[in-house]
Structure 1
């Protein structure tokens, strides 16, 4: 009888748990064009092909939501964008910081597109275009993930690569662009040195480690999912270095994925990263990370990554820890720590779901919670963030269908949201 009562109580708690609410959705992305004539000219010239514009990353700063649109194919109107959050169901995107910054030179966009090869492109296959950064340091070519920090700065990891799935062209080197969000002005641009970019390198994420009390003392961690390393950028000294570790590699047994009925195999290494809360005035904290093609979670202290001499030596090997395994079919693209609940939220692309883990508990399958799962609205949850008010935002975009199959003329791109303190109710993360 006691067991029955516990089961009933658990069912009641679970039924009362709040799920994610769909906030925004798009059939196709639309932009705030200067005029209707400008839009039609872009369509005519091939610079704007609606079906080639897929949202991938998101960030929230005050009342603005930033959305990235990588140049997977030709015809992406603008790669870095924002809209002011409102009740508009399908808001138009405003290029950030401007249209001019996001425009590529006119070229022939009517090319055949090839299938994506598993999370990256061969750098040697990319045709070298003119370096647009030499002429205009404000240019944005193609970005995947972005991050706003506590100092009101937007950090943009720009791959510089366009038409990735078709005829790749490297318009600029891999670089970090940092903007002042209060003025929309470029603060600094850092180009990743060539010797830190390998043949299979692919930088699609950026994590920023800083505190509002010392904005000059900032570091950015750039996971290289293609050649299994992390590039660390030191903002104060304006330099970077490449860190390697076995834990950055993918698990060969976890690279088989099925999303939206499409089966494919990826070999993506370290990708998702989350920063724990600072434990002292020096900003020491834990860095959590995992490979995309993996179900395991690892950690390392940021004091390791910020120490170039130690981080790049073999002495650092045992400073990294295996936390545990999430369980079957729990591969993840992104994770984010919420300091209000002590919970790390993460995507589950094989399950059309969002998972969670309370960092105070052991990292076991039993302690992994399921915030929400939906085979319609959460097909390939690609990115997620928690804002300063404790709201979780999730972007789902059906990307494998976009790459390997085709998207249907329906709502394919969504942003869902929920209060972190409420959506963990009834889960092991509570």
Structure 2
């Protein structure tokens, strides 16, 4: 794999480490239609016939998870008999489970002020109590219920408000001084505060702003209350919830940033990452609240189409549970989950070390190997093998005159040879040569004086005698030589590239007088 593709792969891997995507979610259940667990089949047949129940109108709006149970509040249409239901987080059956009214069929009923009429916002506190916000009816004011999930689902009506309708979402603030609920009232420019210990509620005005979505920062003080504007895409914050708990009647939320769409649901996990689902948007985005506001992609399902396609909640272990709703496709409903935390929304130090080591192994190391191969290839091109033609071993030095060296000859009457050996070197007493194929030089190759390498010079000296002339500039010049007592000199042509003649004796033949003479040279 090339370093380029390794780098692309590692960048993709790091982006997956920064944000949980579709591949990180596992699907638990899917439904094309949601139905209740009815007391009897006769009851189901009756409501379907008189259309007091229409399965296509089941629309989960709010969600809470505790242990092995998922609690949902359904949007209240006239043909939805129960708005608070429960699902298991797993099932031994291959069929998706049905909705079970919670805590029972009898505890749900519209128009009865002592029953759960229209369940809205849901939260579970640290002691296992499910808080249910009930928006009431024409006859009954809004109220809050608690259901003890640890003690046999004991249900308690803890507070009735002085108004009705339009209370829709809440968050819980558990402090050493008591438990408080911050509640949104989407038709008024205020926040409702409820104290469990005092069983009192009051309103805190937010001049000019009506909020629809609400979330609370982790438990470290000061806790921030995040609020999404009902009329715009703007996100606001109240810097400290202590001012709300102390009985203040007016708050001035601070503008944090602006989303790409109008949020219908927001949530902050224990690591300070805010998730946001939007009206008529098929994606979920997030923002790390410890950094300046910057919206980042988290999850996307291109096939969804509904007013608020997602609702989600965290369980005690930090696992994110999410239901998606698609009006015009199948499956219509999907239950998903994904582990959300520091390692899924932000790159962890351990993962950073792994990525750095992977970059070194996949990018830097192959680059060094490639560089080494390139240098080796260039070095091989500069140093030729021994079986190449002599013309490849010759070099032309246009600015340097040829240098001639005088060579003595033996009794056989050999002529003087002219050679450029570059530097002074001694003669060998016995010369062996390789077989070299004769290749005629180009006529225009030797416009400058010919210079032989030391290796070529030794080979030319070892060649047998054969007359030859240069085609372009005639006979090679002869250097003056001195006569010795062997005999008069005879001219001998310079052989620059001649194949060996095996018909003549080799110089290593001790019967040759020339070979005997060569052995006694210094």
Is TM more than 0.5 here? yes
Relative distance call for 1:186 and 1:392 in structure 2 (3 A) is: same
Residues 228, 270 of structure 1: 8 Å contact kept: yes
What residue number does 1:239 align with?
A: 200
> Following the alignment from structure 1 to structure 2, what is the Cα–Cα distance between the partners of residues 296 and 184?
39
What residue number does 1:157 align with?
A: 133
> Following the alignment from structure 2 to structure 1, what is the Cα–Cα distance between the partners of residues 300 and 144?
34
Residues 176, 190 of structure 1: 8 Å contact kept: yes
What residue number does 2:103 align with?
A: 97
Which among 226, 241, 247 is matched to residue 302 of structure 1? 241
Deviation at 1:192, TM superposition (A): 1.0
Report the secondary structure of 2:12's partner residue.
Answer: helix
What residue number does 2:287 align with?
A: 357
Relative distance call for 1:52 and 1:377 in structure 2 (3 A) is: closer
What residue number does 2:75 align with?
A: 70
Relative distance call for 1:279 and 1:34 in structure 2 (3 A) is: same
Residues 81, 93 of structure 1: 8 Å contact kept: yes
What residue number does 2:301 align with?
A: 374
Q: How does 1:125-204 map to 2 (within 5 A)?
A: 132-133=112-113, 137=114, 139-161=115-137, 170-182=138-150, 183-194=152-163, 202-204=166-168
Report the secondary structure of 1:66's partner residue.
Answer: strand
Between Structure 1 and Structure 2, whose CA radius of gyration is higher?
2
- Unaligned runs of at least 5 residues, structure 1: 105-130, 162-169, 250-268, 399-406
Summarize deviations over 1:198-224 as a string: whole Å, max 9, x none.
xxx61111211115xx5x811111111
Relative distance call for 1:286 and 1:47 in structure 2 (3 A) is: same
Summarize deviations over 1:3-30 as a string: whole Å, max 9, x none.
9998775334335754233333322211
Report the secondary structure of 2:96's partner residue.
Answer: coil
What residue number does 1:424 align with?
A: 345
Report the secondary structure of 2:225's partner residue.
Answer: strand
Deviation at 1:59, TM superposition (A): 0.7
What residue number does 1:223 align with?
A: 184
> Following the alignment from structure 1 to structure 2, what is the Cα–Cα distance between the partners of residues 218 and 384?
23
> Following the alignment from structure 1 to structure 2, what is the Cα–Cα distance between the partners of residues 374 and 141?
33
Deviation at 1:147, TM superposition (A): 0.9
Report the secondary structure of 1:37's partner residue.
Answer: helix
Report the secondary structure of 2:120's partner residue.
Answer: strand
Which among 214, 228, 235 is matched to residue 273 of structure 1? 214
Residues 18, 423 of structure 1: 8 Å contact kept: no
1:43 aligns to 2:11 (yes or no): no
> Following the alignment from structure 2 to structure 1, what is the Cα–Cα distance between the partners of residues 59 and 51?
16
Deviation at 1:153, TM superposition (A): 1.0
> Following the alignment from structure 1 to structure 2, what is the Cα–Cα distance between the partners of residues 208 and 145?
11
TM-score where L is the length of structure 1: 0.71
What residue number does 1:332 align with?
A: 263
Residues 229, 236 of structure 2: 8 Å contact kept: no
What residue number does 1:411 align with?
A: 331
What residue number does 1:111 align with?
A: none
Residues 34, 58 of structure 2: 8 Å contact kept: yes
**Which of the pair is proportionally richer in strand?**
1
> Following the alignment from structure 1 to structure 2, what is the Cα–Cα distance between the partners of residues 378 and 33?
29
Report the secondary structure of 2:56's partner residue.
Answer: helix
Relative distance call for 1:277 and 1:424 in structure 2 (3 A) is: closer
Relative distance call for 1:3 and 1:225 in structure 2 (3 A) is: farther
What residue number does 2:256 align with?
A: 323
> Following the alignment from structure 1 to structure 2, what is the Cα–Cα distance between the partners of residues 210 and 89?
39
Relative distance call for 1:395 and 1:246 in structure 2 (3 A) is: farther
Residues 56, 395 of structure 1: 8 Å contact kept: no
Q: How does 1:78-97 map to 2 (within 5 A)?
A: 78-87=82-91, 90-97=96-103
Residues 129, 148 of structure 2: 8 Å contact kept: yes
Report the secondary structure of 1:360's partner residue.
Answer: coil
Deviation at 1:355, TM superposition (A): 1.0
What residue number does 1:343 align with?
A: 273
Summarize deviations over 1:40-61 as a string: whole Å, max 9, x none.
2332343322222222111101
Deviation at 1:377, TM superposition (A): 4.7
Report the secondary structure of 1:277's partner residue.
Answer: coil
RMSD: 2.9
> Following the alignment from structure 1 to structure 2, what is the Cα–Cα distance between the partners of residues 243 and 349?
26
Report the secondary structure of 1:56's partner residue.
Answer: strand
